[in-house]
Amino acid sequence: MLQLLARNFLGKTPPWYKYTVLGFLILNPLIFFLVSPFVAGWLVLLEFIFILALALQCYPVPAGGLLAIEAAVIGIAKPESIYNEIVANLPTVLLLIFMVAGIYYLKDVLSLIFTKLFLKFRKKWQVSLVFCVVSACTAAFLDALTLLAVLIAVCFNFFAVYHRAAGAYADDPKNQTNNELDEFRGFLRNLIMHSAVGTALGGTLTLVGEPQNLMIGTKMGWSFVEFFEHCGIIAVPVALGGFILCPLLEIFRVPGFGHQLSVRARQLIVNDYEKKARELAGQGVYKYVLQGVVALLLLLALGFHVAEVGLIGLAVIVILSAFTGMTKEHDFAEAFNNAMPFVTLIVIFFAILAVVHDQHLVTPIIRWVLSFEGQMQLLVLYVVNGVMSMVSDSVFVASVFITEMDKLYKAGVFSLDWYQNLATVVNMGTNIPSLGTPNGTAGFLFLLTSALAPLIKLSYFQMLKIMIPYFIVLSSIGGFMVYFFLR
């Protein structure tokens, strides 16, 4: 039985990974009881980040879940705190369950549209820039996770088209075929990451672009226009910097970029697109028209925020299933395949956030930030928010800091004008530098743990490598604007 237990613990992961996780589970109680709960809290947070970094070795749910359960059992986080974190983030959970699944029902028409856009441009830098800009413009008014779900489906379809036709290369030398496949994977990695950056850039521009935007804007009483007036001075230069940097990375083939789409791979995608275009008759036309109408209604519903995003996604599922004859239980299962593993992971992530909250891990940092004065206080606040968002959750960090700032403002520590500056910096600090790591934003984490990531070999470290130039340039522009132009 012991041999079976050892063999089945974390399945086929490498022995060193199993021993490391087991070491974490042994070490945490010792630190908690013999040193301090505060140190144990930081240790659990760093261990969870380590597990996320090795997501391709083992999906983070088993190992990360064990850390969360242990934290609750020994008292690093209270079960009620974990529950409160989940309740506070219920809109995100609903979004992941229903909107991501709802997008599955629109994948045919969306794939057709993005494929046409993709095939319109032949040069890699042009395709990258178009996807980045279109993603930014869309994410400014819609949800970034929803948009990423669409883009993942599009790239997944590209890979599936290539993979299905692999037999067509049987007469090629084996190495040539493998090299072409590796280059195609690299091309898709670049394309999806440029698009993901676009969603992040667009999300900084408007009140509805990111969850923390709405949260901070609501607390400050800012309207849609007022939010842009306060945050646009930083967000617009950062977005423009991202749009300029995107094609330059491809033109100069910065390490991690420059992978090209081969003529044969492109032709396969063209053939698949033309085949689908020819099938647009009868039932096919009805399906695409119906999906197009529902997609338009989806944009309007999200743009006007008629309901929580997850509930709108549920409405999409209901309408499309009702009018396309989906009447069997198994018809609905496939749509939820991509969403539910990540929903499980994000709930575990909320449990780790409960550790941060219960142990007050960030309280000493906030006190240190406020020890500075003037523009230096704004710059330090920007950097600290960025660093903490890179290792934690940007929405959580924003909620902690804006709550503390609100208490200090009501206590008369600073004026309304300075409070608005601080709120702007908290918002931009959690939006921009958080691009530095995959766990900094929910969208990047969703991409990393999606079904597409292992197919295109997008690991945690690959994502870090690709994001380094974006992180350096965009964070620097943001810091420069905060220090010299935010008055």
pLDDT of 95? 79
CA distances 153 to 188, 277, 332, Å, are: 12, 18, 17
110 in Cβ contact with 160 (< 8 Å): no
3-state secondary structure 6-28: HHHCCCCCCHHHHHHHHHHHHHH
What's the half-sphere exposure (Cβ side, CA atoms, 13 Å) at 189? 28
Q: Residue 204, SS3? A: coil
CA distances 364 to 244, 272, 360, Å, are: 38, 57, 8
Contacts of 309 (CB under 8 A, 6+ apart): 91, 94, 95, 99, 143, 146, 302
CA distances 160 to 180, 204, 272, 278, Å, are: 15, 33, 10, 19
If the chain, 487 residues long, is cut into consecutive pieces of 10 residues, what is the mean pLDDT of each piece?
Answer: 81 90 95 94 89 79 94 94 87 81 79 81 92 88 74 86 62 57 90 93 83 80 86 94 95 90 85 76 76 86 78 90 85 78 86 87 83 92 90 75 82 88 93 85 81 87 90 95 90
Please choose, from the candidates 28, 20, 58, 33, the residue with its C-alpha nearest in 3D space to the C-alpha of residue 45: 28
Q: Which residues of 387-419 are buried (b: 16+ CB within 10 A; e: fewer)?
A: bbbbbbbbbbbbbbbbebbbeebeeeeeeeeeb
192 in Cβ contact with 155 (< 8 Å): yes
Backbone angles phi and psi of 425, in degrees to 5:
-70, -40
3-state secondary structure 324-366: CCCCCCHHHHHHHCCHHHHHHHHHHHHHHHHHHHHCCCCHHHH
Query: 58 — alpha (psi -120 to 50), left (phi > 0) or beta?
Result: beta
What's the half-sphere exposure (Cβ side, CA atoms, 13 Å) at 358? 26
pLDDT of 282? 61
Tokens of 66: 């064990």
Please choose, from the candidates 201, 204, 205, the residue with its C-alpha nearest in 3D space to the C-alpha of residue 193: 201
Q: What is the DSSP letter of 36?
A: -
Q: Which residues of 432-448 are buried (b: 16+ CB within 10 A; e: fewer)?
A: bbbbbbbbbbbbbbbbb
Tokens of 375: 């523009």
pLDDT of 169? 46
Length of the chain: 487
396 in Cβ contact with 356 (< 8 Å): yes
pLDDT of 173? 47
Distant-in-sequence contacts of 44-49, Cβ < 8 A, 24+ apart? 44/71, 44/76, 44/352, 44/355, 45/352, 45/355, 45/356, 45/361, 45/391, 45/392, 46/391, 48/349, 48/352, 49/391, 49/439
pLDDT of 298? 84
Q: Residue 437, SS3? A: coil
Compute how many other C-beta atoms are within 10 angstroms of the C-beta atom of residue 185. Answer: 17
Positive or negative torsion for Cα 158, 156, 195, 287:
positive
391: amino acid identity, one letter: V
Query: 360 — alpha (psi -120 to 50), left (phi > 0) or beta?
Result: left
